[in-house]
Amino acid sequence: MSHLRARGWICALLVVALLVSCGDDKQRTAADDTPIRIGSKNFTEAKILGELYKQALEAKGLRVELRSAVGPSETVNRALRRGRLDMYPEYVGVLLSEVDGIQERPASADAAYRLAKGIEEKRKLTLLEQTSFSNENALAVTKSFSRTESVRTIADLKKLRATQLRAAPEFEERFEGMIGLRRVYGLKSLKMKAWTSAGDQYPLLDSGKVKVALVFTTDSQLASGRYQLLDDPKGLFAEQHLAPVISQKALQAHGPKLAATINAVSALLTTPVMRGLNAQVDVNKRTPREVAAAFLADSGLK
């Protein structure tokens, strides 16, 4: 009887171990089979970033669903907080000023990152590592217009007669936009008209139909040397290092591989790299998917 009883206990333990093992496999399989939902904003650089993170994660065996061109920061962040997305790439300065409503500028880029990360963690989100590149808002004119009208800074626009600015639709309602230009620089006569899509402002500047336009400092068109970025002596436009905003739930579900892969991509993104990637789409007319695939392959991440 003792041998039979011992044999029975061994069999019971084996069954329990097998059940636990199967449960772990089911949990791992469920996590691996649940797609990571990445959102991106609605301009060239954002679409490229979405593809970079998507394809790098897929190369590591993770399932990813990319929702490209969701909208501006306010829209994408709201979708993340409501659980419709798991992550999206965001500029830290925009996150603070336009999503969190903080108009005071932190003392440094690192201070801004820490502040934004702390705020997001209260929402059960977090920020992964930020990039070295900073894609800031800026106002630009042609160099010929700058010489003719003696316009070198944003403050110089005040001496011009009613001038139209071409910018993104959301620029009208942002502090780092028309609100700040009126409040900080006193540009009461400056009027804004929304562009159809980012990139439209450059041919309009070239033709003279538009005198002043919003640009982004990683725009590939700026390498032509035809445009003058207006100095911002009052610091309206903050540094804009990029940091993926991600749900803590997604990080826990997919383990350290998720954050490590995303951080590895972000570490490669310098200002020259981003201008080059943007140029391949805007100038060479390749798709964001193609550009991202080639870059990741060259970098050993795919």
Q: Kindly state the average pLDDT of the residues 185-212.
A: 94
Residue 268 near residue 292 (C-beta atoms within 8 A): no
CATH superfamily of 137-229: Osmoprotection protein (prox); domain 2 (3.40.190.120)
DSSP string covering 3-41, please? HHHHHHHHHHHHHHHHHHHHHHHHHHHHHHHSPEEEE--
Evaluate if residue 103 carries a pLDDT over 90. no
Q: What is the pLDDT at residue 223?
A: 87
Query: Which pTM was predicted?
Result: 0.83
Residue ranges, CATH 3.40.190.120, the chain: 137-229
Q: What is the pLDDT of residues 149-173, one digit of tens each?
A: 999 999 999 999 888 999 999 999 9
Question: Residues with Cβ < 8 Å from 133, sequence gap 6 or more?
Answer: 218, 241, 242, 269, 270, 271, 273, 274
Residue ranges, CATH 3.40.190.10, the chain: 34-134+239-298
Q: Across the chain, what does the average pLDDT equal?
A: 91
Q: What is the pLDDT at residue 19?
A: 45
Beta strands 137-142; 212-216: pairing state: antiparallel
Domain 34-134+239-298 has CATH 3.40.50.150: no
Evaluate if residue 248 carries a pLDDT over 90. yes
Q: What is the pLDDT of residues 126-152, one digit of tens each?
A: 999 999 999 999 999 999 999 999 999
